Structure 1
Amino acid sequence: MSRSRVSFTQLFDQNREYWPETTAGVSLIAPAIYRLHEHLSQLANALFTAYGLQSAEFEALCALRTSPPPHQMTPTELYRKLLVSSGGMTKILVRLEDKGLIERPINPEDARSKRVALTASGKALIEEVTDKLLQQEAKLLARIEQPDALQQSLMQWLQQIEHS
C-alpha cells in the first residue's frame, strides 16, 4: 500500500467542495507554507538520520558553528538561541557530548559552570551536513520561478510579523 500523501491541490479541492466556508476568499499562502514546511522537514530529517543526528542536535551544532571562534557559548545562551527548555538543552548536550561532537570546558568567567564548545569532529560534521542540506534545498528552489522575488516577499512578511 502506498503511503504517499494527498497533494495540497487535492486537499484544497476537497475543502472547496465539502467545506466551502474554509476556502471562500481565503489565501492559499499560509496553508501552502505549512505544507512546504512539512516537505522541507522530511528532507532535512532524512539527511539528519543518515548522519545519526536529531533535528535538535543539528540546530545546536549550527548555533555553535555560527558563534565566533572558538565556537563556544554557555548552555543558557544556547538554549535561548534554540528556544528549548534548559532540561531539553541538557539532554541534547549529553547526546552530542557522547558522540564526541561537543566538549564542555570550564567557563573561564565562572569556574562553577561549563561552556559548550564544538569539537573538530563536530565542526566537520555540521559543515558536511549543512553543505548537503543546502545542495538539496537548492535543487528544490531551482524548480520555482523568480526565487529572489519570493525570498524578498517572505522576508518582508516575516520581519513585519516579528516586529509587531
Structure 2
Amino acid sequence: MRRERVSFTELFDTSQEYWPETTTGVSLVAPAIYRLHEYLSRLAEELFQQYQLQGAEFEALSALRNSPPPYRITPTELYRKLLVSSGGMTKILARLEDKGLIERPANPEDARSRLVGLTTQGQALIEEVTERLLQREAELVSKVAQPRQLEQQLMQWLEQIERG
C-alpha cells in the first residue's frame, strides 16, 4: 500500500506556523527540487520494477547505450560514468550479464582486460525502458507553465555549481 505524503505546500505552511525560523527568508527552490526528485525517482523505480531492473542497472545500460556503436567500453570508462564503487560495479555487471543484457568480450587493445558491451537484447530493453521513462517524465513536465525557461535556469545553475 502506497502511503500518501503531505503536500509540499502543506508542509511549508505547517513549518511557517510551528517553526517559522526554517521558512523566513529561505528560498523554496532547494526543498522543492528535493520533493520533485522524490516524485521522479518513484516514477522511475516503478517503471524499472516492471522490467525487473534496478536503478543502477538502468544507469549502466544507459551509459553503454550512450557510447559509440557497437556500445562497448571498458569497465573503467563505465565506472567513471556512474556513481558506484568498483565492487558495486562488479555486482551490477554480473547481474546484467546473467540477464543476457551485456556481454564481456576480450579487449583487443589490452589482452588483460575485457570490454563491457550491450547485447541486442540489452539494447532493445534500454531503448524501450528509456522511451517509456521519457514519456512519463514529459507528462510531468507538461504541468510546468514555461518548461524551456525553467530548463534554461536549472541548466545554468547546475553549470555554475559544477564549475565550482
Report matched runs for 1:118-133 at 5 Å.
Answer: 118-133=118-133
Moved over 6 A (4+): none
TM-score by length of 2: 0.98
Query: What residue ranges of structure 1 are gaps of 5+ in the alignment?
Result: none
Computed over aligned residues only, the root mean square deviation of the Cα atoms, in angstroms, reads 1.0
Residue-pair matches, total: 164
Partner of 2:159: 159
Shift of 1:2: 6.9
Q: Which amino acid aligns with 2:114?
A: K
Shift of 1:3: 1.4
Q: Deviations over 1:115-148 (max 9, x none)?
A: 1000000000000000000000111111110100
Q: In 2, Cα distance between the equivalents of 1:80 and 1:20?
A: 42
Report matched runs for 1:56-75 at 5 Å.
Answer: 56-75=56-75
Q: Deviations over 1:80-130 (max 9, x none)?
A: 110211100000000000000000000111111111000000000000000
Q: Which amino acid aligns with 1:124?
A: A
SS of the counterpart of 1:68?
coil
Partner of 1:41: 41
Q: In 2, Cα distance between the equivalents of 1:40 and 1:79?
A: 24
Partner of 1:115: 115
SS of the counterpart of 1:113?
strand
Q: Which amino acid aligns with 2:100?
A: G
Query: What residue ranges of structure 2 are gaps of 5+ in the alignment?
Result: none
Partner of 2:138: 138
Q: Deviations over 1:52-94 (max 9, x none)?
A: 0000000000000000001011111111110211100000000
Partner of 1:53: 53
Q: Which amino acid aligns with 2:26?
A: V
Report matched runs for 1:101-112 at 5 Å.
Answer: 101-112=101-112
Q: Which amino acid aligns with 2:148?
A: D
TM-score by length of 1: 0.98
